[in-house]
Structure 1
Amino acid sequence: MGELSEEQYKVCCDAFSAFAGSGSLLTPFELNAAMRSLGHAPTTEDFNKICEEHDLYAKGGVSLQGFLYIIAQREAGAGLRAGLLEAFARFDRDQNGFVDAEEIKEAMMVIGEEPFTEEEWALLLQEYEMPETNQIDYYQLVEIMTRKEPPP
């Protein structure tokens, strides 16, 4: 998990206080509002997973420490997504959000600390419907790559 900067920590504490009021917990409703105020707008599915992972309904909410943990996780994920998008954009000659599948495959199999194997590439593409043009929408690919859970 990533760590929050001092500034992020302060902003998160302020958001927690603003939404929790005099309470020591953010209810699930307040958590959703606080997350949105910080620019983290989870989908209903993502929010339900957060609530389940932290047992928020049984506990009645989330503490400041739990809130900081949730936001740090989201910030780390956002940084990873941004880095991947930036890397893929370098291969996007037409700047249209698409890259050549073979070119990306070759790059992903040699670049980085842990390059992809043929098997990993095949698994990744199982979730991506490759168009006949052999062009990959790298925004969609990044969403697949940064998904927290494998598909069912």
Structure 2
Amino acid sequence: MPDLLNPEELSDEQMSTFRRHFDSFDFRKEGSILTTDLGTVLRACGQVPTEAWIRERIKVVDPDGKGIVEWEAFLRLLKQSLVSGNPDDELLESFRRFDQLGTGQIDSSQLREILTTLGDSLSPEEADELISDADQLGTGKISYESLCRTLVYGPD
């Protein structure tokens, strides 16, 4: 598993993945994304920023309020997010709290409720898409360790 806590040594594969996510929101193909998409792109890169963290960083990267984040500024923010804590450990601990039997799995309906109601919640559609990807066998049970790895490091 890549060491995401050393952002100065991002692998070519990581940089390519991050750039791909960034570019997927660069609708004008000008090397920038809208500030309103910043959280979504960071999350696509495996980060778990809070809305407050995002708002504070937008003030830094877009001080004139144009609503744009350039690639280099995004990369700096991503690196800040990477060194601010291990999201894998934080996510695992969060899911463990809901795993009362210690099975390493979470029920898809419970996961949907968590994703759509707690913290920086997802829309029902986003939650359903994530759950569908995580429960490819359709068992209704999701390994939260596997889910966390996918969320943080991307699909295998």
TM-score by length of 2: 0.45
Report which structure shows greater RCO (CA 8 Å, sep ≥6).
2
